């Protein structure tokens, strides 16, 4: 238990650096796909350090509290993942962080922030049922919701749950704020509501949210790795391929409406989930 705690603590400390590095590589590859040179890979770290050095300006107390809770929830999710805890517990903690992010945006009177918060709610409505179904499929195969039992299973889950990996891809496209589902907040210039849910955040508070996103990126990579947890090389190959596919999708698709997101993500995602779960039930 002590070694597992230390490993989880080390993973929690390393997670924002991993997430920031992945974000920097993301920006660099995206720039090259768009025939641009792009920023240095360390640019996300420079941005956050610059934000931390600015004066703290908030509209009300909620905007001071909510980023702290969001960051704490994201860090706790990574720690629980490192402890190989229950996937449902991680899901609920992750949801708490998302809810407080929305509450902070709704606390501001800005119409851009309000619209962004409403769209963030739509995104949660779209990806959370898919995450639950992915975790249910893990339980059907391993007999438990615990990450420790996924590692103890001894066989890759991808051959048994190929459709669920696609379903997880839908959820991750939304969670990573990639096109065509980047309706609530986006780094790209085509976002017509500025930064949406992040519009009224600035300075250190915005830095905390960016760091929370880095934790989320690390957690997302960890969830993907569970589909091939028997081999470090296999997991790394799967993660690299899946993330590169996300970048390609982000650059070849346009941002769509929230109605498209709900219909496409929930419609296709639920259909694929049912097919894979039924197929797995017959195999058992």
The 3-state DSSP class for residue 86 equals strand
* Residue range 200-222, pLDDT digits in tens: 888 899 899 999 999 999 999 99
Residue found under tokens 């459709």: 163
Report the number of distinct structural domains present in the chain.
Answer: 1
Find all residues with CB under 8 Å of 10, minimum gap 6, and list them: 82
Report pLDDT for 176: 86
Residue 218 and residue 19 in contact, taking contact as beta carbons nearer than 8 Å: yes
146 pairs with which residues across the strands? 86
* Residue range 157-207, pLDDT digits in tens: 999 999 999 999 998 888 888 888 887 776 554 455 466 788 888 889 989
Full domain range(s) for residue 138? 2-145+153-283
* Residue range 30-86, pLDDT digits in tens: 888 888 888 899 999 999 999 999 888 877 888 889 999 999 999 999 999 999 999
Chain-centroid distance of CA 280 in Å reads 26
Sorting pLDDT into bands at 50, 70 and 90, what band is 154? confident
User: Model-level pTM?
Assistant: 0.92
Q: How far apart are CA 23 and CA 132, in angstroms?
A: 26
Quote the strand ranges of the chain, DSSP E.
none
């Amino acid at each position: 238990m002590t070694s597992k705690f230390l490993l989880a603590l080390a993973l929690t400390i390393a997670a924002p650096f991993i997430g920031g590095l992945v974000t920097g590589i993301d920006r660099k590859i995206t720039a090259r796909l768009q025939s641009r040179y792009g920023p240095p890979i360390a640019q996300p770290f420079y941005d956050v350090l610059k934000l931390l050095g600015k004066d703290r300006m908030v509209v009300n107390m909620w905007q001071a509290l909510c980023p702290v809770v969001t960051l704490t929830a994201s860090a706790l999710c990574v720690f629980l993942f490192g402890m190989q805890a229950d996937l449902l517990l991680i899901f609920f903690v992750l949801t708490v962080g998302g809810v407080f992010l929305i509450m902070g945006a709704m606390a501001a009177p800005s119409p851009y922030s309000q619209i962004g918060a409403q769209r963030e709610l739509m995104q949660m409505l779209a990806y959370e049922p898919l995450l639950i179904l992915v975790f249910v499929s893990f339980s059907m195969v391993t007999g438990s919701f615990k990450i420790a039992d996924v590692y103890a299973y001894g066989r890759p889950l991808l051959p048994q749950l190929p459709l669920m990996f696609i379903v997880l891809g839908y959820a991750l496209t939304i969670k990573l704020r990639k096109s065509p589902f980047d309706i609530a907040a986006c780094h790209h210039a085509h976002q017509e509501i500025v930064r949406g849910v992040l519009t009224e955040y600035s300075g250190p508070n915005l830095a905390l949210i960016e760091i929370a996103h880095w934790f989320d990126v690390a957690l997302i990579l960890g969830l993907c790795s569970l589909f091939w947890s028997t081999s470090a090389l296999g997991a790394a190959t799967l993660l690299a391929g899946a993330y590169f596919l996300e970048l390609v999708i982000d650059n070849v698709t346009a941002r769509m409406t929230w109605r498209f997101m709900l219909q496409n993500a929930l419609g296709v995602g639920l259909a694929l989930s049912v097919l894979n779960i039924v197929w797995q039930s017959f195999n058992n």
